[in-house]
Every structure is written in structure tokens, then in C-alpha cells.
Amino acid sequence: GGEQAAVDKFMAMDGGVQQNVHLLLVGYMECLVWETERSKASISAVETQRHVCKQLRDKARAVVSFSGMIKFRLPLGVNERLNQLEIRMM
């Protein structure tokens, strides 16, 4: 699927990118959490709010899946932080 293609592309990238990907993953998850909280506060139509939040949760789930699929050791605590951020979006 799309996640495996992303993993394959990641593994072909320069080592400098691979070593810093944890910063991008955590930063992106923090943005998704912020956007979820903003959407919950600003969208009054319940169905629209649910739809937007589900899309954001799907993106977060893809980030967590990607981080687990890459054959690259992330710094200690990164996967836990990603999981914590995903839980905040529930």
C-alpha cells in the first residue's frame, strides 16, 4: 500500500534525512493534534466536525504505522510520544 511505498522511499533517502525524520514525525503529529483541537472548538456542525477529526486521526494513524514500519532506530521515546499524541486526538 501507500505506507510501504513511503517506507521504501524513506529507506532510499540520504542518511541525514533518516537521522532527523523523528523531528518531522513528532512535529507533524503535534500539528495534527493542534488542528484536531482547533476543529473541535471551531466547527459547530457535528457531522462536519466528526468527518474532519476522522481525517486527521487517519493521518496520525499513518504516521504511527510509518514509524513502526521503517527499519531505522528512532531515538528513545519517539514512538511513545507519537502514541501519546495520537491518543490526544481521540
pLDDT digits (tens, 9 = 90+) for 25-70: 999 999 999 999 999 999 999 999 999 999 999 999 999 999 999 9
E strands, the chain, where?
none
Would you place residue 71 in the very low, low, confident or very high pLDDT band (cuts 50, 70, 90)? confident
Query: What does the alpha-carbon distance between residue 41 and residue 63 come to, in Å, rounded to a whole number?
Result: 24
The model's pTM: 0.90
Domain ranges (residues) in the chain: 2-88
Give the Å distances, CA to CA, from 33 to 15, 16, 70, 75, 89: 28, 27, 23, 21, 6
